[in-house]
Structure 1
């Protein structure tokens, strides 16, 4: 009997795992230095990559496929409340997950949510603060 073993697809964690487990880094000196500095924020616990956290427990690093599932579960799952991208990213961190660009991927998934797009409140606030114009002041564009 032969069991087929699939190699995991390379993702954002692959260079970090290779460096932390085997000490293998890129050939370019600048890239190698950048990887060494970045690897200081990560650790391997029981074969999985974790991001060290200053104020709490270490966060488990997940790839983008798992992150997409986590966002959907937090946003519209059993206890999901269709909250905004920032709150979804914070809840993912509270659930002890980490991936780069958490907020941007949460924002992208929330933009795909039909019920959020249909029932979201429409803000009609101006993009810039209103400027007060006092009467009697001459302007350079007004000819006198």
Structure 2
């Protein structure tokens, strides 16, 4: 498994902990998916809130013999079905849960040793487009890691 995939899996595991039994506001952790919100357009109400994680880029950077530093960018998105006029409190709860799961106790542990740096940018609120009932909160995440290659 590639280091990038290991990091994605680690993030999915962290996000899967989001349940009221673990002290979170929502149960979004029971519905974590890789990919974009497009496939959720036909989802049923009981499939929300949900969490989507997708890799945006993973360019190589500095290198030395046998190692290359990568900077992998993700988007972690919490998606709800925005029925009714007052859906923002649900988005607020989901934003809080996502950040807490990604940065437990305010401590950036660098993903269990898989990364050398973790940056979580501010949360964006995405309100429903006309004709849609999907609203979301979105966190851009950047992870720096080192891939080791065997010399040939």
Settle same-fold status: TM greater than 0.5: no
Name the larger-Rg structure.
1
* Higher relative contact order structure (alpha carbons within 8 Å, sequence separation ≥ 6): 2
More helix by share: 1
Q: What range is the shorter-chain TM-score in?
A: under 0.3
TM-score by length of 1: 0.23
**What TM-score do you get using the length of structure 2 for normalisation?**
0.22
